[in-house]
């Protein structure tokens, strides 16, 4: 263990594993440690027995007659869908991690309105056919979508009579006569904003247009929805990046307890002390927040509840989709933030035939988190088995401190990866001084198989 590295990474969550792979490819000497005996941390995929063990339930309570065989499950603890043309897909392609994985298109994307689910309309034809809007609003939204697709951020001639560098998205929606309902599902279920603060911030206007375009481009490539998902669950992603790091000389060690993160006299990190193994030195340390709890390096940002439910049917309103992303905007539920539901089935090799896995997730604010998520739970129908957990979330609190410690934030409640990849890219640039290479064609996502 007494060896020198460029980077030591603590925890094998998805963000940490992506950085491990990218930094190894960039010729950094990487040591990757985890206290657990499996890869993935909160991004792990578990079979039924592992899930019961995690929630401290005995095997005797596991009814395989009702639920199906344990080995037929690969249940993600923190399911998130990949945007087909998003940056994570481009990272996977650039690093060739796709050679280890197979992806399938998610069955559909839906949004809640008046206690019913509606498919999210993104194409001009879908807008005209959607029952989410009235007849006049459909035509206005069709025109808005066509304009969005034609916008070029560096060409004001494509902006119509708008100034996208000075006007807010609220003003843009008003210009196209989009009503409050249209504004809500567009911002939350297509642009994937977690709240409405973007509406009145002119610096967010071009970002919003770019998000809408990415959603539309992803949908045009994958047809049923803009999202894709790895067969056998998300656990393959950290494992794939781990293999990539190993190929480029990265060293992995599981079941290693970190006793201490070491610093020099100026407060800069110099390595870690591992129980029963000695010390390893490095000028840079990356670690998930759990390795820095109790220090001033991290601060609590809230609490996220996740309600995992096993069903014997698809969700009503999802067109019998084998998988689905569902967003419940705050204005439809009265909850302080959006509530998310991800649904997966045997089509993605994560459950036995005839079984669906639904995960409800949201930030929660009271001592009654189940009550806060009850509006989503009611949409599921009959539940065969459920597991409920609330976890505190943390983020780095050492910004501006020259300690060379980089701490990715806890996984948030969203069911997509856009924030995750942005954070990885920022940390990579801070360490290397270089941008992550995203020159990859999303059309080739399964070409390496």
Measured CA to CA, the distance from residue 445 to residue 83 in angstroms comes to 12
Residue 447, pLDDT above cutoff 60: no
pLDDT category at 124 given cuts 50, 70, 90 is confident
State the pLDDT at residue 1: 62
Measured CA to CA, the distance from residue 352 to residue 47 in angstroms comes to 11
Model confidence over 325-378: pLDDT tens digits?
Answer: 999 999 999 999 999 999 999 999 999 999 999 999 999 999 999 999 999 999
State the pLDDT at residue 443: 61
Model confidence over 215-240: pLDDT tens digits?
Answer: 999 998 887 889 999 999 998 888 88
Helix (H) or strand (E) holding 362: strand 356-364
Token digits for 274?
């591992």
Please, are residues 195 and 330 in contact by the beta-carbon 8 Å criterion? yes
Measured CA to CA, the distance from residue 46 to residue 71 in angstroms comes to 9
Strand 339-345 and strand 356-364: the pairing is: antiparallel
Average pLDDT, whole number, for the chain? 92
- Which residue matches tokens 């084998």? 322
Model confidence over 308-331: pLDDT tens digits?
Answer: 999 999 999 999 999 999 999 999
- Which residue matches tokens 């909160």? 42
Model confidence over 59-88: pLDDT tens digits?
Answer: 777 898 999 999 999 999 999 999 998 888
Token digits for 371?
């009550």
Confidence (pTM): 0.90
Which domains can be identified in the chain, with CATH numbers? 4-55+231-299+394-443 (3.50.50.60), 121-223 (1.10.405.10)
pLDDT, average across residues 382-389: 96
Helix (H) or strand (E) holding 119: strand 116-119
pLDDT category at 445 given cuts 50, 70, 90 is low
Please give the share of the chain, as a percent, with pLDDT higher than 70.
Answer: 97
Measured CA to CA, the distance from residue 138 to residue 90 in angstroms comes to 33
Residue 449, pLDDT above cutoff 50: no
Distance between alpha carbon 280 and the CA centroid of its chain, in Å?
Answer: 32
pLDDT category at 275 given cuts 50, 70, 90 is very high
Query: By C-alpha distance, which of 296, 301, 299 is closest to 263?
Result: 296
Residue 440, pLDDT above cutoff 80: no
């Amino acid at each position: 263990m007494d060896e020198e590295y460029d980077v030591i990474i603590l925890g094998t969550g998805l963000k940490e594993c992506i950085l491990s792979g990218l930094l190894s490819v960039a010729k950094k000497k990487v040591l990757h440690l985890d206290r657990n005996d499996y890869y993935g941390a909160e991004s792990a995929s578990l079979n039924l027995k592992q899930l019961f063990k995690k929630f401290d339930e005995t095997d005797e309570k596991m009814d395989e007659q009702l639920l199906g065989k344990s080995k037929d499950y690969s249940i993600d603890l923190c399911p998130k869908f990949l945007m087909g043309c998003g940056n994570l897909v481009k990272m996977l392609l650039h690093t060739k991690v796709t050679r280890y994985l197979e992806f399938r298109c998610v069955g559909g994307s839906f949004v809640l309105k008046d206690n019913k689910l509606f498919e999210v309309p993104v194409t001009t034809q879908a807008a005209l056919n959607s029952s989410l809007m009235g007849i006049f609003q459909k035509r206005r939204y069709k025109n808005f979508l066509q304009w969005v697709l034609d916008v070029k951020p560096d060409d004001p001639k494509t902006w119509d009579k708008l100034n996208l560098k000075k006007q807010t998205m609220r003003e843009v929606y008003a210009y196209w006569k989009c009503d409050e309902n249209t504004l809500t599902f567009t911002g939350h279920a297509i642009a994937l904003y977690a709240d409405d603060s973007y509406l009145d911030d002119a610096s967010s206007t071009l970002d919003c247009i770019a998000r809408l375009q990415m959603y539309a481009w992803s949908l045009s490539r994958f047809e049923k929805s803009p999202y894709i998902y790895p067969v056998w669950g998300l656990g393959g992603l950290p494992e794939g990046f781990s293999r990539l790091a190993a190929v480029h000389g990265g060293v992995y060690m599981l079941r290693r307890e970190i006793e201490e993160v070491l610093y020099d006299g100026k407060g800069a990190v110099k390595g870690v002390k591992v129980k029963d193994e000695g010390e390893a030195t490095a000028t840079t340390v990356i670690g998930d927040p759990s390795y820095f709890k109790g220090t001033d390096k991290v601060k609590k940002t809230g609490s996220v509840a996740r309600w995992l439910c096993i069903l014997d049917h698809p969700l009503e309103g999802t067109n019998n989709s084998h998988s689905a992303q569902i967003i419940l905007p705050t204005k439809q539920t009265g909850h302080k933030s959006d509530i998310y539901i991800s649904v997966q089935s045997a089509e993605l090799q994560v459950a036995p035939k005839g079984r669906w896995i639904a995960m409800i997730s949201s930030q929660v604010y009271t001592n009654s988190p189940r009550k806060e998520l009850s509006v989503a739970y009611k949409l599921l129908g009959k539940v065969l088995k459920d597991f409920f957990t609330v976890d505190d979330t943390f983020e780095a609190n050492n910004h501006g401190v020259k300690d060379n410690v980089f701490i990715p934030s806890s996984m948030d409640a969203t069911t997509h990866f856009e924030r995750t990849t942005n954070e990885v890219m920022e940390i990579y640039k801070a360490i290397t001084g270089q941008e992550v290479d995203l020159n990859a064609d999303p059309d080739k996502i399964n070409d390496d198989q």
